[in-house]
């Protein structure tokens, strides 16, 4: 089988164009994937921030989580920058890292919130118990003071003698 030069050139040109369209289609899919991953990372970061804020409101120490939130935010920023520069593979990788970090932070924040609430409940019961004991001690001291005063006052009153009046007119 003989191929003419024109036919080989034509088939080669069609293959080059087809591969160019396939690469462009693949890049569009990667760009769309990167955009979706970056959006997902933003949502995950907002949820993690809300979880940390709730844990802080419950009285938990969230200083370590704030550092991890910062790392997740940096990864999201790098993903957005990579997406803007056309490096979609790096954008997806950074967005995935942001999602992982944000999920870890949200889980830790939830645990810290639970333990802070449990600690607050324990502190409330201790305060209630100490207040009850304090009231009982105060009432006991008050009753003892009243009994001592009553005994002292009764002795003084019983020890008094009536005074006879001397300025009676005759």
- Spatial distance between the Cα atoms of 75 and 44, rounded to a whole number of angstroms: 12
- What tokens were used for 88? 């979609």
Q: Tens digits of per-residue pLDDT, 28-52?
A: 547 788 889 999 999 999 999 999 9
The secondary structure element, H or E, covering residue 153 is: helix 88-159
Write b or e for each residue in 95-133: b if 16 or more Cβ atoms lie within 10 A of its Cβ, otherwise e.
bebbbebbeebbebbeebbeebeeeeeeeeeeeeeeeee
Task: Tell me the two tokens of residue 61.
Answer: 């120490």
Q: Give this prediction's pTM.
A: 0.60
- Domain 12-119: state its class: mainly alpha
User: In angstroms, rounded to a whole number, what is the distance separating the alpha carbons of residues 73 and 75?
Assistant: 5
Average pLDDT of the residues of the chain = 83
Give me the pLDDT at residue 106, please.
93
101-157 pLDDT, tens digit each: 999 999 999 998 988 888 878 888 898 999 999 999 999 999 999 999 998 888 887
State residue 26's pLDDT score.
45
- In the structure encoding, which two tokens stand for residue 17, read together? 């164009």
Break the chain into its structural domains and give their ranges. 12-119
């Amino acid at each position: 089988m003989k191929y003419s030069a024109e036919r080989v050139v034509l088939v080669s040109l069609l293959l080059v164009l087809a591969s160019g369209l396939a690469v462009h289609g693949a890049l569009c899919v990667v760009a769309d994937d990167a955009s979706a991953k970056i959006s997902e990372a933003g949502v995950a970061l907002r949820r993690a921030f809300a979880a940390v804020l709730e844990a802080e409101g419950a009285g938990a120490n969230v200083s370590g989580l704030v550092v991890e939130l910062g790392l997740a935010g940096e990864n999201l920023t790098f993903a957005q920058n990579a997406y803007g520069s056309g490096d979609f593979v790096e954008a997806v990788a950074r967005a995935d890292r942001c999602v992982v970090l944000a999920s870890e932070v949200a889980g830790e924040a939830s645990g810290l919130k639970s333990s802070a609430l449990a600690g607050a409940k324990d502190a409330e019961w201790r305060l209630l118990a100490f207040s009850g004991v304090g009231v009982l001690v105060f009432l006991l001291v008050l009753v003892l003071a009243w009994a001592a005063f009553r005994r002292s006052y009764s002795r003084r009153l019983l020890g008094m003698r009536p005074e006879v009046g001397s300025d009676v007119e005759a």
